[in-house]
Structure 1
Amino acid sequence: SRAKIGVISRDSSIDPVGACVGMKGSRVQAVVQELQGEKIDIIPWSEDTATFVVNALQPATVSRVVIDEEESRIEVVVPDDQLSLAIGRRGQNVRLTSQLTNSAIDIMTEAEASEKRQKEFAERSKMFEEELDVDETLSQLLVAEGFSELEEVAYIDMAELAGIEGFDEELAEELQSRAQEALERREEASREARRALGVEDALAELPHLTEAMLVTLGKAGIKTLDDLADLATDELIAKKRTEQRRRDGQRRERAEDKGGVLGDYGLSEEQGNEIIMAARAHWFEDEPANEEAADADSSQ
């Protein structure tokens, strides 16, 4: 019942939207009639993803766009009174925009976005407070400076960490040391959990796989090189795709694609291929021995 089309002109003298619409809408109306009245939104395409999303969600007004390129996910914040317009009837507006941008899109109001930021701030502060054994003020300062993971504190350039207002080189060194120790504790805990699940040590030698990933594999029943080698790359690393829906004023997520076993870890397709091929390497190592045995049998 509705289509969205992104258009661009390589000739600066041509207005791409106007060229598609035609004089008094004559061109687009001819197409609409052929499609039995289907509505067509013609949108100026932009290389800037945020600009393209804002254009595509029209006529809704957008307050802010946050892009997560690694997850191919876009968070769009709109004024409270623009929410239903941005989502569209039966979610049509946001769904078509998602297809145009090839990204999952989460739409939330400014109040929801503020609540989400406050929740994330509190969770990250608590994590740093516990893992680094620091007071609340220091943990909140780290979050305010943009730190969200222990890895960021552990491996950031020392000068950059020491350059934070109120920090010095001694404090920066101590924080990095504590962050690295906390990561080692996590790794050891995951290693014990992985072994308790019966995951072979051989999997720990494969590239890109952390102990936490191996625990996830073990919980999915993937415990040997052969188990892993039998997977396709998508089955291993495909990211989960979800569609946001609203019903009775409540946000609900409906999974469209379960994704791969390690879909939450942000592995690239290249990394996934390397893991699968490394897991299959022993198959090819066995082939010469099998061929020699077969030749020996035939000669007898």
Structure 2
Amino acid sequence: MAITSANQLELLQTAEAVAREKMIDPGLVIEAMEESLARAAKSRYGADMDIRVDIDRKTGRAVFTRVRTVVEEDELENYQAEFTVEQARQYMEDPKIGDTFVEEVPPVEMGRIAAQSAKQVILQRVREAERDRQYEEFKDRAGTIINGLVKREEYGNVIVDVGAGEAILRRNEKIGRESYRPNDRIRCYVKDVRREPRGPQIFLSRTSPEFMAELFKMEVPEIYDGIIDIKAVARDPGSRAKIAVISYDNSIDPVGACVGMRGSRVQAVVNELQGEKIDIIPWNEDIPTFLVNALQPAEVSKVVFDEEAERVEVVVPEEQLSLAIGRRGQNVRLASQLTGLDIDIMTEAEESKRRQEEFEKRTKLFMDTLDLDEFFAQLLVSEGFSSLEEVAYVEQAELLVIDGVDEDTANELQARAQDVLEARNKAALENARALGVEDSLVEFDALTPQMVEVLANDGIKTLEDFATCADWELAGGYTTVDGQRVKDNGLLENFDVSLEEAQNMVMTARVLLGWVDPEELEAEDETEDESDEQQHEAGA
């Protein structure tokens, strides 16, 4: 097939038809044609030649040209597409390195193989353009709800026609045992859109918490308008869910607005989610209050919140225990997801027993170390003293408020506590030195002798060793493994060293060693403070 005047316009008509069918730019189809014709010409003139084809967008005339580039003599590799300055003088005036010489060559006759190759190039470029168009169309729709038609089901995964392409609803993203037949209408959440070699992949979900949030946004105008905000969602797909909402207008009840007249709004969401029960909870900045709301319908007697460990102990009456935990732990699990906290639930009897054990343990500590009788030791514990350090170094006025304690008794108590601590520190220091601890670590002000002993037992014997520690190695923390929070024990955890204190200790050691410039550290702190202030102002 030669590119003659008879079929020049046919090129443009073909490009227009393909572009219309695939909903892509006609220019992309013409570019694909130019590339395919150039490839066919190279097979005729030689693969090393730089043959280019330009199709006129108005007339359809295809012009074949050969391009040669001027290069340095020692860089000349391809004699068909490159030439030296000396050689270029035969064709050009005053040639320079990088100049190109373009000359028109006769069009080629395309044989059967060349035509087939050209067709493949065009189809490939059209497919690429179609994929780019699909990706551009859907990339901004991630995080929204989309309607589609079920095309087929493959190995439990549902292939959905979403208009300009196909999307996939994986087996684990379906609610319960949902099944679909071809041409069923389906509503899903666009979880992710990725550009992959085989084309854009659109991943859908019906189990995602965000799906429920978007459904409420569609059903509740106040959420769409920003008057009510969804702060958190936790789901056990197809079974039960909890959603925390807050109203920025005091005249609007967020829970009532989401429920709707006679439950019409929430019922519409429930129907879409295959009968999933939904608890709508008022959000509260006070975490213990929010947690009490999240554990509804169970009644809570007491909440003990450990902010550093992000862990909460909840005390409930005996008859409320099963309700608080829920069937197979569902209620407490959803409350934990909603608040982002680990929740331990215990009865009032269990909490009372634990407090009694702690009371007896501290009483025995004071009896054994301070040589006190049981009654006096219990008095100390009742007043909130839990360690020898507190007794030894507390303001004396705090001891004098205890019944029967005068100034002499208080002095004697503190002297005994200090003697015990000094003896322990001396023994710990001797043991640490026996283990090979260097003076650099012993003389580090942030560490007590007992801390140094614990570090030495773990092989940390110099200030350099200490400076390489991570803050969580010292203070402890939590790691999420397979969705479960696992406790990491810290070396200095028994000394009540917080994560922030551990971080400061390590950074101080690094400054002393010259590893960190204190001025840079101060600059970073100032930047963080400014950022916190800006966030606070934005929040206000």
Per the shorter chain, which TM-score range? 0.7 to 0.9
Larger Rg: 2
Residues 240 and 260 in structure 1, CA contact (< 8 A), matched pair in contact too: no
Residues 309 and 478 in structure 2, CA contact (< 8 A), matched pair in contact too: no
Query: Does 2:512 correspond to 1:274?
Result: no
Query: Does 2:375 correspond to 1:137?
Result: yes
Alpha-carbon deviations, 1:233-281, whole Å to 9, x = none? 33433424799xxxxxxxxxx8614254444544344322222223334
Which among 281, 297, 305 is matched to residue 43 of structure 1? 281
What's the CA shift for 1:171? 1.0
What's the CA shift for 1:180? 1.9
What's the CA shift for 1:144? 1.6
Pair 1:237–1:58, CA change in 2 (3 A) = same
Query: Residue 488 of structure 2 aligns with which residue?
Result: 258
Give 3-state SS (helix, strand or coil) of 2:416's partner: helix
What's the CA shift for 1:13? 0.9
Distance in 1 between residues matched to 2:401 and 2:301, nearest whole Å: 32
Query: Residue 17 of structure 1 aligns with which residue?
Result: 255
Distance in 2 between residues matched to 1:140 and 1:183, nearest whole Å: 21
What's the CA shift for 1:166? 1.9
Alpha-carbon deviations, 1:78-136, whole Å to 9, x = none? 12222222122333322333344444332111211121111111111100111111111
Query: Residue 400 of structure 2 aligns with which residue?
Result: 162
Query: Does 2:244 correspond to 1:6?
Result: yes
Give 3-state SS (helix, strand or coil) of 2:372's partner: coil
Residues 239 and 259 in structure 1, CA contact (< 8 A), matched pair in contact too: yes
Give 3-state SS (helix, strand or coil) of 1:179's partner: helix
Query: Does 2:283 correspond to 1:53?
Result: no
What's the CA shift for 1:22? 2.4
Pair 1:258–1:170, CA change in 2 (3 A) = same
Query: Does 2:418 correspond to 1:188?
Result: no
Over the matched positions of the two proteins, sequence identity in percent amounts to 60
Residues 78 and 108 in structure 1, CA contact (< 8 A), matched pair in contact too: yes
Q: How many residues align?
A: 277
What's the CA shift for 1:178? 1.4
Between 188-197 and 50-59, report the one with greater CA deviation: 188-197
What's the CA shift for 1:37? 4.5
**Letter of the structure 2 residue corresponding to residue 280 of structure 1:** R
Query: Residue 387 of structure 2 aligns with which residue?
Result: 149
What's the CA shift for 1:17? 1.4
Give 3-state SS (helix, strand or coil) of 2:243's partner: strand
Residues 510 and 516 in structure 2, CA contact (< 8 A), matched pair in contact too: no
Pair 1:103–1:182, CA change in 2 (3 A) = farther
Which among 468, 471, 480 is matched to residue 233 of structure 1? 471
Query: Residue 117 of structure 1 aligns with which residue?
Result: 355
Pair 1:284–1:155, CA change in 2 (3 A) = closer
Distance in 2 between residues matched to 1:128 and 1:242, nearest whole Å: 38
Query: Residue 213 of structure 1 aligns with which residue?
Result: 451
4+ aligned runs moved over 6 Å, structure 1: none
Greater share of residues in strand:
2
TM-score (norm. length: structure 2): 0.46
**Letter of the structure 1 residue corresponding to residue 405 of structure 2:** F
Residues 71 and 266 in structure 1, CA contact (< 8 A), matched pair in contact too: no
Alpha-carbon deviations, 1:173-193, whole Å to 9, x = none? 211221222222232233233
Distance in 1 between residues matched to 2:516 and 2:294, nearest whole Å: 55
Residues 158 and 172 in structure 1, CA contact (< 8 A), matched pair in contact too: yes
Pair 1:92–1:238, CA change in 2 (3 A) = farther
**Letter of the structure 2 residue corresponding to residue 83 of structure 1:** L
**Letter of the structure 2 residue corresponding to residue 104 of structure 1:** D
Distance in 2 between residues matched to 1:286 and 1:45, nearest whole Å: 43
Distance in 2 between residues matched to 1:13 and 1:32, nearest whole Å: 26
Distance in 1 between residues matched to 2:516 and 2:347, nearest whole Å: 58
Give 3-state SS (helix, strand or coil) of 1:107's partner: strand
Give 3-state SS (helix, strand or coil) of 1:8's partner: strand
Greater share of residues in helix:
1
Distance in 1 between residues matched to 2:288 and 2:404, nearest whole Å: 35
| Structure 2 gaps, min length 5 | 1-235, 518-540
Superposed CA RMSD in Å reads 3.0
Residues 255 and 280 in structure 2, CA contact (< 8 A), matched pair in contact too: yes
Distance in 1 between residues matched to 2:291 and 2:428, nearest whole Å: 40
Give 3-state SS (helix, strand or coil) of 2:477's partner: coil
Pair 1:286–1:163, CA change in 2 (3 A) = closer
Higher relative contact order (CA 8 A, sep 6+): 1
Pair 1:286–1:30, CA change in 2 (3 A) = closer
Between 204-213 and 174-183, report the one with greater CA deviation: 204-213
Pair 1:189–1:95, CA change in 2 (3 A) = farther
Distance in 1 between residues matched to 2:280 and 2:455, nearest whole Å: 45
Give 3-state SS (helix, strand or coil) of 1:284's partner: coil
